[in-house]
Amino acid sequence: MNPLTAQQLIDLAYLIAVALFILALRWLSSPATAKRGVLAGEIGAALAVLATLCNYEIVDYKWITVALVVGAVVGIPLGLVHMTAVPQRTALSHAFGALAAAMIGIAEYYVRLPHVAKFEMVEISLEVIIGSLTFTGSLIAAGKLQEILPQRPITYKGQNFVSLSVLGAAVLLALWLVFHPEHSHLFPVMVGVSLIFGVMLVTPIGGADMPTVISLLNSYAGLSAALLGFVLNNKALVVAGALDGSSGFILSVIMCKAMNRSFTNVMFGAFGQVQVSASKDKEERTVRSASAEEAAAILGNANSVVIVPGYGMAVAQAQHKVRELYDTLIKKGVDVKFGIHPVAGRMPGHMNVLLAEADIPYDKMIDMDAINPEFPQTDVALVIGANDVTNPAAKTDQGSPIYGMPILEVDKARTVMVIKRSMSPGFAGIDNPLYYLDKTLMLFGDAKAFVGDIIRELAGGH
């Protein structure tokens, strides 16, 4: 077989792999077919890797083997992390993907020197800039999610100007290299500046904005892979990158809509930092608090309960206790559902995965648009570790920083119970009028412990 036919066979394998990738995403449309989707993706990926190993250009397999083993040794534990660590794991995998794309782009540049055509240099520079900034940006995001770095936004005066200047510098260096690709000493400078920009891009963004940022970084990681496909003229990479890029983009749009904010506002607004315009009316407002015993009595006598989980439930690791509460209430004949806000948690779909991990059936997890019409007929809305996504000020108070954001309308339920550590507002510092309603009972305490107490009361009391 001459090399050309072998190459064509490899290309054919890539084509099949890419078709399987599209099927994989197609089957992800419902949980019933999703497992088949993963299998299709695995077969496609294995086919592409095996075909590549037959490429005649490969003269030495030693380092490939070593690197594949290292990749497996790192990848398997990253596949087995605890479900609560999924957001930071995801951020880390964006970092790895972008690192790989950047490394390959850098290697290509040095291999092609000194003759790099202009359009090739445009592709390489763009690819390396996006790959590098996504790498460091994702590392910062992972650090914030793992709480190695502070979750609150880190800002200073003139920050946007400085950040954009750094990005501008990277672009200028890239332009210079397009016309003078032989000035190879500038290339590492461009990489370095892009790496710095990635750090500056994510440090000013607060924890509550992480769902959007993770989605956006996902999109960038996909884009860098697609651009790499342009550089190497490899259509499998172009397609996989385009799929990943559009997925991240769609998720970012969904997240932004769910917060009623624009991309620019998320990236440059440093949400949750300056809330100087705190509530003008500082009059004493009273809240009603209740004990676990009272809460248990109300829940036990309810016909319908909607539980609204938020990031606080994840922090307190309360999802398994919540499942016990769900089981106890179901046994008493109470109809229990979960109302899920798109930005609850730290990444898209975060709450669904945590609840699924605790064995709560997914047909009980209802998204915002479907659950909102049900609140007026709901006896009890039980809010566990969620705050802003239930804040009625988003609908009524034009001065509120979250005005216009779609919320879960728990205030329409007959009784609202909120499990919260204390009355102190979250780091976004936005006051929640929900807590002062006559129908609202505040349940002060740790989410996990308090839900445990309610379960004990329910078991003992009746």
Partner 1 sequence: MTSDLISNLWVFVLAAFIGFEVIKRVSPLLHTPLMSLTNALDAIVVVAAIIICGRHKSTLSTVLGAIAVAASFSNMVGGFIITDRMLRMFKTTRTKKP
Q: Which residues contact 177 (CB under 8 A, 6 or more apart)?
A: 121, 125, 183, 186, 187, 190
CA 350/CA 341 separation, integer angstroms: 10
Strand ranges, E, within 300-445: 304-309, 335-340, 365-367, 380-384, 415-420, 440-444
- Give the number of other CB atoms < 10 A from CB of residue 367: 14
Choice from 347, 402, 408, 410 touching partner 1 (CB under 8 A): 347
Choice from 140, 145, 200, 243 touching partner 1 (CB under 8 A): 243
Least spacing, CB of residue 408 vs partner 1, in Å: 14
The helix/strand/coil state of 160 is helix
Stretch that binds partner 1, among 38-46, 150-158, 164-172, 277-285 (CB under 8 A): 38-46
Least spacing, CB of residue 247 vs partner 1, in Å: 5
Instruction: Give the footprint of partner 1 on residues 254-313 (CB under 8 A).
Output: 254
Site for partner 1 contains 25 (CB under 8 A):
yes
CA 125/CA 184 separation, integer angstroms: 12
Choice from 198, 206, 248, 385 touching partner 1 (CB under 8 A): 248
CA 134/CA 420 separation, integer angstroms: 36
Least spacing, CB of residue 221 vs partner 1, in Å: 6
CA 129/CA 198 separation, integer angstroms: 9
User: Token pair of 156, please?
Assistant: 């200073």
For tokens 């807590």, the residue is 435
Least spacing, CB of residue 222 vs partner 1, in Å: 6
Decide whether 352 or 378 has the Cβ nearer to partner 1: 352
Least spacing, CB of residue 146 vs partner 1, in Å: 16
Q: Which residues contact 268 (CB under 8 A, 6 or more apart)?
A: 160, 204
User: Token pair of 406, please?
Assistant: 């779609």
Please provide the DSSP assignment of 202-236 as one string: HTT--GGGHHHHHHHHHHHHHHHHHHHHHHHT-HH
Decide whether 4 or 72 has the Cβ nearer to partner 1: 72
CA 197/CA 190 separation, integer angstroms: 11
CA torsion sign for 245, 39, 99, 209 is: positive
CA 332/CA 355 separation, integer angstroms: 21
Choice from 221, 266, 313, 316 touching partner 1 (CB under 8 A): 221
Instruction: Give the footprint of partner 1 on residues 111-130 (CB under 8 A).
Output: 111, 117, 119-120, 123
Site for partner 1 contains 245 (CB under 8 A):
yes
Site for partner 1 contains 24 (CB under 8 A):
yes
Q: Which of 108, 71, 59, 53 is nearest to 229 (CA)?
A: 108
Fill in the per-residue mask, 170 to 209: x = in contact with partner 1 (CB under 8 A), - = not in contact.
----------------------------------------
Site for partner 1 contains 230 (CB under 8 A):
yes
Least spacing, CB of residue 432 vs partner 1, in Å: 24
- Kindly name the residue from 388, 411, 431, 453 that is annotated as catalytic: 388
Decide whether 169 or 242 has the Cβ nearer to partner 1: 242
**Active-site annotation holds for 388:** yes
Decide whether 18 or 402 has the Cβ nearer to partner 1: 18
Cβ atoms of 207 and 152 closer than 8 Å: yes
Least spacing, CB of residue 374 vs partner 1, in Å: 17
Least spacing, CB of residue 168 vs partner 1, in Å: 26
Choice from 2, 5, 30, 422 touching partner 1 (CB under 8 A): 30
Size of the site for partner 1 (CB under 8 A): 115
Decide whether 110 or 156 has the Cβ nearer to partner 1: 110
Site for partner 1 contains 38 (CB under 8 A):
yes
Instruction: Give the footprint of partner 1 on residues 363-422 (CB under 8 A).
Output: 363-365, 367
**Cis status of the peptide bond prior to 114, with omega within 30 of 0:** yes
Stretch that binds partner 1, among 190-198, 272-280, 349-357, 371-379 (CB under 8 A): 349-357
Tell me the one-letter amino acid at 264: T
Instruction: Give the footprint of partner 1 on residues 54-113 (CB under 8 A).
Output: 55, 57-61, 63-64, 66-68, 70-72, 74-81, 83, 86, 89-90, 93-94, 96-97, 99-101, 103-104, 106-108, 110-111
Site for partner 1 contains 251 (CB under 8 A):
yes
Decide whether 233 or 424 has the Cβ nearer to partner 1: 233
- For residue 66, what is the enclosing H or E element? helix 62-79
φ/ψ (deg, to 5) at 376: -60, -25
Least spacing, CB of residue 236 vs partner 1, in Å: 6
Please provide the DSSP assignment of 46-59 as one string: HHHHHHHHT-TT--
Instruction: Give the footprint of partner 1 on residues 317-346 (CB under 8 A).
Output: 340, 342
Q: Which residues are marked as active site?
A: 388
